[in-house]
Amino acid sequence: MASVTLEKVNKVFGRDHIIKDVDLSIGDGEFVVFVGPSGCGKSTLLRLIAGLESITDGDLNIGGTVVNDLPPRERGVGMVFQSYALYPHMTVYDNMAFGLKLANTAKETVHERVMSTAKILQLEELLHRKPKALSGGQRQRVAMGRAMAREPRILLFDEPLSNLDASLRVQMRNEIARLHNRLGSTMIYVTHDQVEAMTLADKIVVLNRGHIEQVGSPHELYQRPATKFVAGFIGSPTMNFMPAELLSGTADGCRVKAAGVGEVSLPQAGDAYSKGSSLTLGVRPEHLRLEAPQGDNCFDIVNVEYLGNEVYVYLEPKEGSTLLIHRSEAPSQWQEGQQVSLVPDTEHVHLFDESGAALTLSATRSAA
C-alpha cells in the first residue's frame, strides 16, 4: 500500500500532446477512478503510472520515491488488463505464480501466496484449468489474482469490466468494491462508464483532452461540478443546458434571464462578471418541474419515455438542437404534444461562464 503523487506530468507521442500538466495526489488505500470520454488520456495516464509508457516531463512519486525511471516490476504495481491477457498456455495456478517465480520467490512462499489469493477470489477449484476453459467472469478473477499475487502496493485496472455482459458487470463491480474493502490497498481504476465510476470510487478524476477537469468524491462531482464538461459528463440522462444572460450580480447572488424560463434569482456569486455576460444555465432532469404554460414560458413536449419506475419527458428547446429532458417518478400525467412551462429548482441550478467554469456559490450560501 502506498500513496501516489503526480506533479506536472506530461506525455507527448510524436506531435500529440496526450497528457498535459497533470497534478494529482492519491492517498494510501484510496480507490480512485479515472473517467472521461474515449481519447481523453485516461488509459495513457494509467500506463504512465504502471510504467508501460515513459513520462515525457514531470515527476511520478509512489510511496515517497520518484519512480519515473524504474521499470514496472520495481514500482510495486499490479495491473489488470481489459482483455485480461492471461497466458493461454499456463494453468490458472501458473498464471498467478509467474510473476512470483520471476522474482525468485521461494517455492513455499509462491504456493502460499497463490493459494491465499485464490482463496480470496474463490479460484481454488479452478487452479489446474487453462484460461480457455474458464468463463468471462472467472478469467476476470484470474486476471485480478495474477495482479494481486505479487502483493503490489498499488493495483491498476484498465477498463476491466468492459468485456463482460451487463449482469456480470454489475456482479464483478460489487466484487471489486468488496475486494477493496477487504484488502484496503490503493486502487486506480480506468473506465468510461460513469456508473462504475460513481459506485466504486472514493475519488473520481474526470479527464478531458489530457488535462484534469475536476477531482472529487462522487457526491461533489454530481452536486458541484466545477466545469460544464463535468456537469455534462456525470449524470444520466445528461444535464440540460440553456443559454442565459446575466442581469445583475453581487457577491451574494445573481439574477439571470434564460430564453423561455424567464428571469431567475440564483445563489451564485455574480460580482466577477459584467452585466449582460452570456452564461449557461445547467439543470439536471430531476431538478425541473413542469407546470401549465405561462406566457413566454411555453415548451412543446416532443416525446415521453416510460421506463417503468420513472418517466423521461423530452422538450423542444428555445435555442440549440439538444432536447431538454425532464425526469420524474412514474406515473406521469404528461403526454406528447402538450405544452408546459419549466420551473427549475433554484437550489440545484448550475451556472457556467463562457470558458465553461462554474460560478461558485455566494459566500453566505456556501457557509450555510
Chain positions contacting other proteins, by CB under 8 A = 50-52, 71-73, 77-79, 81-83, 85-89, 98-99, 102-103, 146-147, 150
The kind and range of the H/E element at 181 are helix 166-183
Rank residues 159 and 353 by Cβ distance to other proteins and give the closer one: 159
Burial of 321 (0-12, 13-18, 19+ CB in 10 A): exposed
The span from the CA of 228 to the CA of 353, in Å, is 9
Rank residues 82 and 238 by Cβ distance to other proteins and give the closer one: 82
Dump strand ranges (E) for the chain. Answer: 4-13, 16-26, 31-35, 57-62, 65-66, 77-80, 154-158, 186-191, 203-208, 211-216, 240-250, 253-258, 262-266, 278-283, 288-291, 299-306, 310-315, 324-329, 339-344, 349-352
Q: Report DSSP state, residue 336.
A: T
Residue type, 318: K
Rank residues 75 and 327 by Cβ distance to other proteins and give the closer one: 75
Rank residues 88 and 295 by Cβ distance to other proteins and give the closer one: 88
Nearest-approach distance from CB 49 to other proteins, in angstroms:
12
If you search the block for the grid coordinates 462508464, which residue do you land on? 193
Nearest-approach distance from CB 111 to other proteins, in angstroms:
17
Nearest-approach distance from CB 150 to other proteins, in angstroms:
7
Nearest-approach distance from CB 51 to other proteins, in angstroms:
8
CA distances from 305 to 87, 165, 289, 334, 339 (A): 46, 25, 17, 10, 16
Rank residues 87 and 306 by Cβ distance to other proteins and give the closer one: 87
Nearest-approach distance from CB 325 to other proteins, in angstroms:
38
Nearest-approach distance from CB 152 to other proteins, in angstroms:
9
Rank residues 86 and 200 by Cβ distance to other proteins and give the closer one: 86
Residues sharing a CB contact under 8 Å with residue 13, sequence separation 6 or more, in sequence order: none
Whether the CB-CB separation of 351 and 278 falls below 8 Å is answered with: no
Rank residues 153 and 255 by Cβ distance to other proteins and give the closer one: 153
Nearest-approach distance from CB 173 to other proteins, in angstroms:
21
**SS3 call for 10:** strand
Rank residues 51 and 270 by Cβ distance to other proteins and give the closer one: 51
Nearest-approach distance from CB 68 to other proteins, in angstroms:
16
The span from the CA of 132 to the CA of 167, in Å, is 21
Tell whether omega for the bond before 218 is within 30 degrees of 0, i.e. cis.
no
Give the closest residue to 3 by CA, choosing from 139, 170, 202, 166: 202
